[in-house]
Structure 1
């Protein structure tokens, strides 16, 4: 059951009776809890806050569930704060009792290091639903309970946009802390480029604001390494006018395996001409019924049909087995992509690992070879379902941002993001999947134009290291700030800053 503030003074059993070694929902596994969490935390929470146990019948529907159980943290209990003061109190109380805590926004994290967090307090931020457009300031301020889709719809209604990532269900603030690559970055830069301030709870439990004029060093660190520095309660973004009345062209093309070279050649031909209005996602997978690969390209063009048509024609020249073309509000494009299957990217509960790489040039031979190898890996493993997932963006705006406005994120020249997206049946196959697919990442990195592995931190597997996540040149400054703001290393388990 969950316990609102009003119920905490009743006689309550110790947590040991509510959680057992059999409780495995979203990583709950704590055979020897040390606190009566309800008694310790309950009296200091607001009336709107609540405490949730994994044994509650409605637990899976009343708390945010993690996107994947792969390498997940383990929790003693979930607490859903309702006010900023609740978050402060949880952090300070957890510190007092030496209990780790872990904030959950949309639950879309998936990395190799989060399982270093054990028996933590899960701070579920889904109650923070602020989503307010200030017309006078031309800004939108949102809480950590707001997804890309919520964010986009509010802006669309007032004729505005801010660059976001691709999947409508992903948490806006969580993605921004990594950078927020996405299909609209050619027109507006990365999500962090439109960020103007954040309000966060620090490791000490203080509420502070970070912006260009207040705690500016912290604001620099938040833009690319934010998960290492606090729990963001709200973020304010400066909006841009939406092109074409906020409507875009969305087109999908499906190809059989015969396109597993010509499609990559087309992509290569755009290495120096890729339009700023276009975003592109390509997925390639093994069709088990036929034993052959199939490829799907989904493009968005933030402009009128006549401007998009020359690019559509180039896809059509590759003879897709089917295709479609439609115009829609930009906030609908995520779900509509890939012939209306875009919502599949929001499914939760699947065991998922994902070695990834970034590129600034396209190598058709490598992409063709990697896809063929990946198909063979899946053929040999009936329990493995995989997708070679590629996203392509224009980088003109991202690279033109002045150095003093860029924040930490080192990947402004990442024109292409490539992920080997593995879905399989559990931990018993982790080592095999990694050993089979990590070499594919290495091959992609070798011909990426960087000469070494680079990847987007929000897509990172977790073994790449801080120089890849944050940029080698940024590490000394980050280490200094980490010592200042989080000296006991309360945050950043997934992608830690060495200090």
Structure 2
């Protein structure tokens, strides 16, 4: 449960495309929820230190009047029923989402600090957001909260002598890649351009270039972190090194990232990548996955693969899209393209794209949907499960593909079932020791499997959740690891044990919990994929 005499403030900065949130509690105030007239509705009351009960409407009005005095002239406050609130409240999924009474559009770092301090003294939960893509169900525990929109904190500075980029807490992957590419540099980033850079690297930062450069957080030089006590500290190998270890893999549990510095590298092949998309009939699934398994045994650092389901492919039928990106000259990619050509795809597209344009050039422009509120709104509720596997188990995948096709046919127009599997090279990732950072799966994440059900309110939510969970169970049973091993940024939330996210070696959680007591003893940051003991993961 949340600590006594507290209310939760959760901070998540997601990614496959993320949202930061934090959980705070105060000693002399509390928020309670009373049943309202409608089913499932709640009203907010705030109990101050003097025992006075204040209504939600009064709280919202006083919030705007009091907080505006603390913020910079460029900051904006939008209450729940005001124009402008909706755009700051929009997010990739409404499944078990946080709910806000106000949204703050901050203009500078101090606005974040002042908002957090105000919320803490008033006993109001708050959450900071950037891309709005966080998937974890632990967000549902953040109710009647303040949303802190970080997007204007998107500064980026390049130190040419040290080859380092320093970025603000609201910058997205696309913005980061654009500027880094313009300097002739590159580093590992996620495949979704509208995710928050800091949120991704607080988890790890997997991506196509990890074979060359390791995870994004392997390249983090330092981070400025807002702690629960209101102070801003720097974490690096020389300053707060234990905290720096924890931040890279479990960072959402320790504070708000205000700014971070990353090492970047000169582009190879002038930053040009060869991109090939194939579509295959489902009856080619076995040959396709056998090819991926064979290629993965010694995947070169230049190759990265995505496997994506298409309800209606180029032939009008369900197809499987293989996206292959080779970070080098086209002619060098031929040995990796030929095995897929031999399987007779129903459609193929090949092109050269610069590194900054990769998100828009790959898998037939899917990111144009993933990155727009208009795309999110088509099926606004999205439930997401994932698992790591050592290799693709062919019978398990065949069973899943058949079930995926059947579900899309059954729920056509009401729901959409999707999958995205990622297979990345591991060279630089595994050069580092397993204990280098808090991320536990350097040798336990050969492939990342993600499945999703997106739907409207009319669909039986529990039925679809059970279906997704059953598919995940099959992945785990044949994963080659013998247990759930989960990338924290892809974690479902309440159904993931902390060991699956942070490691089964006892010393890992022991170290994280010891550091938690040092840097966040009251549990203010227990909202995003928490690892503390005795916390209720299934309750609201």
TM-score, length-scaled by structure 1: 0.90
Equivalent residues in 2 for 1:2-17, closer than 5 Å: none
Residue of structure 1 equivalent to 2:93: 68
Q: Does 1:192 align with 2:217?
A: yes
Alignment partners' CA distance in 1, 2:411 and 2:370: 22
> What's the counterpart of residue 9 of structure 1?
none
* Residue 282 (structure 1) shift: 0.9
What is the rounded CA distance, in whole Å, between the counterparts of 2:381 and 2:265 in structure 1? 38
Deviates further, 187-196 or 379-388: 379-388
SS across alignment from 2:218: helix
Look up the match of 1:449.
480
CA shift for structure 1 position 29: 7.7
Q: Aligned to 2:496, which of 456, 464, 488? A: 464
Equivalence for 1:226: 251
- The whole-number CA distance in structure 1 between the counterparts of 2:522 and 2:144 is 17
Structure 1 residues 283 and 312: alpha-carbon distance in aligned structure 2, compared to 1, 3 A threshold = same
Shift of residue 408, structure 1, vs aligned partner:
0.5
> Match of 2:149?
124
Structure 1 residue aligned with 2:299 = 274
Q: Aligned to 1:355, what secondary structure does the other structure show?
A: strand
Q: Distance in 2 between matches of 1:495 and 1:319?
A: 43
Give, in whole Å, the separation in 2 of the partners of 1:116 and 1:184.
35
Q: Are the counterparts in 1 of residues 255 and 525 from structure 2 also a CA contact under 8 Å?
A: yes
Alpha carbons of 1:415 and 1:28: their partners in 2 closer, same or farther (altered >3 Å)?
farther
Listed as ranges, the matches of 1:429-440 within 5 Å are 429-440=460-471
Distance (whole Å) between structure 1 residues aligned to residue 90 and residue 196 of structure 2: 13
Question: Quick one: structure 1 residues 228 and 365, their matched pair in 2 at CA, closer, same or farther if it must change by over 3 Å?
Answer: same
Quick one: higher RCO (CA 8 Å, sep 6+), 1 or 2? Answer: 2
- TM, length-normalised to structure 2: 0.84
Could you say which residue in structure 2 is the equivalent of 1:353?
Answer: 383
Paired residues, what number?
473
Compute the RMSD of aligned alpha carbons: 2.2
Partners of 1:399 and 1:37 lie apart in 2 by: 49
Deviates more, 1:253-262 or 1:294-303: 253-262
Partner of residue 497, structure 1: 531
Aligned to 1:481: 515
Which residue is 1:422 aligned to? 453
2-structure distance, mates of 1:274, 1:290:
30
Distance of 1:310 and 1:490 partners within structure 2: 52
Query: Cα deviation per residue 1:122-145 (whole Å; 9 max; x = unaligned)?
Result: 111111011111101210011122
- Measured in 2, the distance between the counterparts of 1:381 and 1:87 equals 43
Greater Cα offset, 488-497 or 199-208: 488-497
For 1:314 and 1:342, locate their aligned partners in 2 and report how far apart those are by CA, in whole Å. Answer: 27
- Please, which runs of 5 or more residues in structure 2 have no aligned partner? 1-35, 46-54, 534-540
State the Cα distance separating 1:392 from its structure 2 match.
0.6
**Residue number in structure 2 paired with 1:411:** 441
SS at match of 2:123: coil
Q: Distance in 2 between matches of 1:356 and 1:186?
A: 22
CA-CA distance at 1:492 after TM superposition? 3.6
Residue 237 (structure 2) aligns with: 212
Aligned pairs (5 A) from 1:127-146:
127-146=152-171
In the alignment, the residues of structure 2 paired with residue 181 and residue 312 of structure 1 have an alpha-carbon distance, to the nearest angstrom, of 23
Look up the SS of the partner of 2:359 in the other structure.
helix
User: In the alignment, is the contact (CA less than 8 A) between 1:199 and 1:234 conserved in 2?
Assistant: yes
Relative to structure 1, is the Cα distance of residues 340 and 85 closer, same or farther in structure 2, using a 3 angstrom cutoff? closer
Unaligned 5+ residue runs, structure 1?
Answer: 1-20
Change in 2 beyond 3 A, CA 1:427/1:498: farther
Residue of structure 1 equivalent to 2:77:
51
Shift of 1:246: 0.8
1:417-455 alpha-carbon deviations (Å, 9 max, x no partner): 111111111385221111112111111111111011112
3-state SS of the aligned residue for 1:44? coil
Q: Answer yes or no: is the 8 Å Cα contact 2:186–2:265 preserved in 1.
A: yes
Does the Cα contact within 8 Å between 2:103 and 2:148 map onto a contact in 1? Answer: yes
Matched with 2:20 is none
**1:1-400 correspondence runs (5 A):** 32-33=55-56, 35=59, 36-61=62-87, 63=88, 65-287=90-312, 292-346=317-371, 347-349=375-377, 350-382=380-412, 383-400=414-431
